[in-house]
Amino acid sequence: MARKVNGFLSRLGLVKDPGAAVPHRKHTKDCATVDLPVPEKVILVMQQHIGAPCAPTVKAGDTVYVGTVVGDSPAPFSAPVHASVSGTVDKIDTVIMPNGSKVQAVVIKSDGQQTPDPKLTPPSIQSDDDLIAAARASGLVGLGGAGFPTHIKLNPSPDVKAKVDTLLINGAECEPYLTSDMRQMLEDFDDIADGIRHVSRLLDVNQTVIGIEDNKPEAIETMKKVASDLSAEGVTTRVEVLPARYPQGAEKVLIHQCTGRSVPMGKLPADIGVVVMNVTSIGVLARYIKTGMPLVSKRVTVDGSAIQTPMNVRVPIGTPIKDIVAFCGGYKETPAKILCGGPMMGTALMTDDFPVLKQNNGFLFFDRQEADMMEPTNCIRCGRCVQACPMGLMPTKLEAYTRIADAQMLKKLNITNCMECGSCAFVCPADRRLVQAIRLGKTIVRNVDQESR
């Protein structure tokens, strides 16, 4: 049985009833995935993961195939980028990311043929090292949005690995609107099962737990069948049905809900014996091992009041978002807000010219009414943000100390423990921009720390 989030907080000595009862709005839950026609060009950004950016390994005029490596890095904390269409490299360009940073990108003109790279073959997995090397070669990063290179996650230090006894598969998908992970569980459940076989063997875990919110009954049934088949062959697996309350899919919340364990501040899940993988990530890893085709496409949910036809679409990575919009029938009206990701943790985009990244799982387009254009008013000290915070933080104080750039107080209030889930802002009756303030507060703390080194 899922433990109540209240239990998580009471164990931590924090407030009860955290998180937010956000509306689900899973309009696309019954929309089977459709393939986007091959785009004319793709823009493959060289920084699609946490860690060192890749450098282009191709130049203008080169012929590439689907799966050809077009960017890589010698840094361990990185993941290669592969061509998602066959064609010709048009140019090496610079792209301005949503956070304002400039990153190199390989632009490929498609030949429309989608010819796979003839050198691609399924990897031979004879050892743990082979599997870790395959995870890197696949270009896989955390597809739940974090972009953490998977080969790093699967290769903890020997002392940490010795503690790991649980593989936790994140199928919560607690963000409103998004249904791409749910479609993964319904459409590609065999890949998920294969991925669990590979990774549970690699980590030598005692159990695998698949956490899913109770608003996805079809996915729960499908995964229960997968869990039962795996258990019958000796890979002990169970499904944990979780109350649909945001942010159930946040890593630390999910771990507590599914295992009863709490990740201490400053520690990683593996330190308490848990490795968490997103439900789509583990499926992509298995597909690579089966076919040798690296991560070149992504299922994304397209929804929101300004889009003509909401749907789930499989798109080549690097596709300009506006091509997906056109495939979905265009806009009903010019969107007032474009979000990459869900409304709680998504990133606002200035334009639909931006290309799809590996870790994107949805794009939302809102008209003016739905775009929450309200201006913030003064904090009325109602305390709702404190009650909503699953990490037991005081968002209203974090905002106040950010305003006066008090790094010491921000540190004392554990600002770095904020996972930017947005629950506090969601419940705030004054529409305070709490998450934006906290992000700024983290930057203030980081800058002060760097200066004092």
Site for ligand SF4 in 83-142 (CB under 6 A): none
Comparison of 132 and 379: residue with beta carbon closer to ligand SF4: 379
Region of 58-66, 196-204, 205-213, 391-399 interacting with ligand SF4 (CB under 6 A): 391-399
Which stretch, 105-113, 153-161, 348-356, 389-397, contacts ligand SF4 (CB under 6 A)? 389-397
Q: Which residues contact 261 (CB under 8 A, 6 or more apart)?
A: 255, 272, 273, 274
Q: Is residue 432 within the footprint of ligand SF4 (CB under 6 A)?
A: yes
- Which helix (H) or strand (E) segment is 19 a member of? none
420 in contact with ligand SF4 (CB under 6 A): yes
Q: Does 379 interact with ligand SF4 (rule: CB under 6 A)?
A: yes
Q: Which of 389, 407, 444, 445 binds ligand SF4 (CB under 6 A)?
A: 389
Q: How far is the CB of 128 from ligand SF4 (least distance, A)?
A: 35
Q: Please say which residue, 42 or 398, places its beta carbon nearer to ligand SF4.
A: 398
Asked if 344 interacts with ligand SF4 (CB under 6 A), we say no
CA quadruple 160, 161, 166, 169: dihedral sign: positive
Span from 90-98, 140-148, 348-356, 373-381 in contact with ligand SF4 (CB under 6 A): 373-381
Q: What distance in Å separates the CA atoms of residue 181 and residue 300, rounded to the nearest whole number?
A: 9
Q: Does 337 bind ligand SF4 (CB under 6 A)?
A: no
Angle of CA points 271, 275, 276, to nearest 5°: 130
Return the number of the residue (208 or 423) whose C-beta is nearest ligand SF4: 423
Binding residue (CB under 6 A) for ligand SF4 from 5, 300, 388, 444: 388
Residue selected from 85, 182, 203, 438 as contacting ligand SF4 according to rule CB under 6 A: 438
Considering only 133, 430, 440, 448, the residue that binds ligand SF4 (CB under 6 A) is 430
What number of chain residues touch ligand SF4 (CB under 6 A)?
Answer: 28
Q: Which is nearer to ligand SF4, 14 or 120 (CB)?
A: 14
Q: Which of 154, 245, 384, 445 binds ligand SF4 (CB under 6 A)?
A: 384
C-beta of 279 vs 428, nearer to ligand SF4: 428
96 in helix, strand or coil?
strand
Phi then psi dihedrals of residue 269, to 5 deg: -55, -40
Nearest approach, Cβ of residue 245 and ligand SF4 (Å): 13
CB 144 within 8 A of CB 249: yes
- For ligand SF4, the binding residue among 61, 74, 157, 381 (CB under 6 A) is 381
Phi, psi of 315 (to 5 degrees): -130, 145
Q: 7 burial class (0-12, 13-18, 19+ CB within 10 angstroms)?
A: middle
| Residue 122, C-beta contacts closer than 8 angstroms, at least 6 positions apart | 288, 289, 290, 291, 292
CA-closest candidate to residue 321, choices 275, 356, 281, 284: 356
Assess 70 for contact with ligand SF4 (CB under 6 A). no
Edge to edge, the sheet with strand 347-349 lists 34-35, 311-316, 297-303, 362-366, 337-340, 347-349
**Least spacing, CB of residue 362 vs ligand SF4, in Å:** 19
Does 393 sit near ligand SF4 (CB under 6 A)? yes
DSSP 287-351: HHHHH---S-EEEEEEESTTBSS-EEEEEETT-BHHHHHHHTT-BSS--SEEEES-TTT-EEES-
253 lies in the binding site for ligand SF4 (CB under 6 A): no
Of 423, 441, 444, 445, the one binding ligand SF4 (CB under 6 A) is 423
Give the C-alpha separation, 400 to 418, whole Å.
15
Q: Strand, coil or helix: what is 242?
A: strand
Strand stretches in 51-165, DSSP E:
55-56, 63-64, 69-72, 81-82, 87-96, 102-110
User: Interface with ligand SF4 by CB under 6 A: which residues?
Assistant: 379-385, 388-389, 391, 393, 395-396, 418-424, 427-430, 432, 434-435, 438
